[in-house]
Amino acid sequence: MIILGIETSTAVCSAGLADETNCIAERSLVESHIHSEKILTLISEMCSEHKISIKKLDGIAISIGPGSFTGLRIGLSTAKGLCYAIGKPLVPVSTFTAVASGVLNLHPDKSKAIICVDAKQGEYYIGMYRKKDGIISDVIPVKVQNLSYVNALEPESAIIITDRTDEIRKLFLGSRLQVENILPYCRGDRIAFEATKKLLIGETNDWKNMEPMYLKDFVIRKPVN
């Protein structure tokens, strides 16, 4: 089983490949507003390099959110187009679950991870995850809160992963809290790997009606003259 994973929920534009045992390959760029231009190129280059035909894939995995409204829409539209073209299932993967899995596997000394991503207008997407017996699960499902909510999660016992490291460190000034940037953990191969677990137990979705996990309303801002 080989799955293609697409990650566009942040400034990272990433494509990756994985099977049921390992992450196989990953290509990414870190730059805002390039996802629509680059994601198909990354997919094509990566598959060509590893001599894997897109038509031979067993499924497509998409990072479903929460995250950037625009990035999520671009990623999902790309994934749906590929599924339509090759007739394979589309598997949605929680962005935060995939990040937490990557974090807690890389930091075996930590049993909990708090994911905290800027949702704009003073709000953040915040969730807490733990690893127990090799399984990643959400202790507190992701929700929209202000940054002070992190205080209630006993962060001293966890590692915090965020796109606003300066703000988090300022909030906990003087503490020895471990804070890392989320971008290195936003990887298409991690999305693909998480999706293989779902396909192995027969978990599939109707890709035609699939929507991103937005969690809050999209706000259109008028341009400032």
* Per-residue pLDDT at 221: 46
190 shares a domain with 88? yes
Strands (E), the chain: 3-7, 12-18, 23-30, 59-63, 90-93, 112-120, 123-132, 135-145, 159-162, 178-181
Q: Is residue 23 part of a domain?
A: yes
- Asked whether the predicted pLDDT for residue 220 surpasses 70, the reply is no
Q: Is residue 164 part of a domain?
A: yes
Alpha-carbon span 13 to 183, nearest angstrom: 10
For helices 95-106 and 188-200, the axis angle rounded to 10 degrees is: 100
* Per-residue pLDDT at 217: 61
- Asked whether the predicted pLDDT for residue 23 surpasses 90, the reply is yes
179 shares a domain with 190? no
Q: Is residue 200 part of a domain?
A: yes
Percent of the chain with pLDDT over 90: 76
- Asked whether the predicted pLDDT for residue 43 surpasses 70, the reply is yes
Contacts of 94 (CB under 8 A, 6+ apart): 64, 65, 142, 194, 213
Q: Under a CB-based contact definition with an 8 Å cutoff, are residues 8 and 77 in contact?
A: no
* Structural domain range at position 44: 3-94+186-209
* Per-residue pLDDT at 29: 96
Q: Is residue 222 part of a domain?
A: no
Q: Is residue 225 part of a domain?
A: no
The CATH number assigned to the domain holding 194 equals 3.30.420.40
Q: How many domains does the chain have?
A: 2
Distances 10 to 95, 98, 198 between C-alpha atoms, Å: 10, 13, 23
pLDDT digits 0-9 by tens, 130-174:
998 888 999 999 999 999 899 888 888 899 999 999 999 998 887
pTM of structure: 0.92
Q: Kindly state the tokens that stand for 26.
A: 């990953």
28 shares a domain with 59? yes
pLDDT (mean) for 28-36 = 91
The model's confidence at residue 10, banded by pLDDT at 50, 70 and 90, is very high
pLDDT (mean) for 30-36 = 90
117 shares a domain with 14? no
* Per-residue pLDDT at 84: 94
84 shares a domain with 8? yes
33 shares a domain with 81? yes
Of residues 204 and 52, which shows the higher confidence score?
A: 52
191 shares a domain with 171? no
Q: Which 3 state secondary structure label does DSSP give 6?
A: strand
90 shares a domain with 7? yes
pLDDT digits 0-9 by tens, 58-68:
999 999 999 99
Closest CA to 28 of 44, 8, 14: 14
Alpha helices, H only, 107-164: none
Q: Is residue 132 part of a domain?
A: yes
The model's confidence at residue 33, banded by pLDDT at 50, 70 and 90, is confident
18 shares a domain with 119? no
Q: Is residue 77 part of a domain?
A: yes
- Asked whether the predicted pLDDT for residue 5 surpasses 90, the reply is yes
121 shares a domain with 177? yes
Alpha-carbon span 114 to 197, nearest angstrom: 23
pLDDT (mean) for 60-87 = 95
pLDDT digits 0-9 by tens, 84-120:
999 999 999 999 999 999 999 999 999 899 999 999 9
